[in-house]
Amino acid sequence: MATTDVTASTIEQTITDNDIVLIDFWADWCGPCKSFAPVYEKASEKHTDVVFAKVDTEAEQELAAQAGITAIPTLMAFREGILVFSQAGALPGPQLEQLITQVKELDMDEVRTKVAEAQAQQQG
């Protein structure tokens, strides 16, 4: 599967309709973004069970602001609609592979329990 562009109008559905979604926030003028693009594309071809999305922060400035993007490239990973990873900086291929493996191996019952506990603490 190749990468897919997402926008403010498609990001929520992309995240909720797929088990695992990686999102690369990038810009055309960004050197590290350009060097990360082929690594990301190659991983997308290998992991056809994962959605590899891209957000052009220049075209989608409001979306980037809502996502709290302060540096690019920034990579976010969602599993079952829950943000499980967010980090600025281009990842080398082996580290991206390691991240994908870790996201696939997550115990989502445990993640949901931790999310619920954190939300309860914030409210209490």
Helix 31-46 to helix 93-105 angle (10° resolution) is: 50
> How far is Cα 33 from Cα 82, in angstroms, rounded to an integer?
24
Question: For this structure, is 49 an active site residue?
Answer: no
**Residue in 107, 90, 78, 91 with CA at minimum distance from that of residue 30:** 90
> How far is Cα 28 from Cα 115, in angstroms, rounded to an integer?
35
From 15, 23, 30, 50, the catalytic residue = 30
From 33, 63, 99, 103, the catalytic residue = 33
Question: For this structure, is 30 an active site residue?
Answer: yes
Active site residues: 30, 33
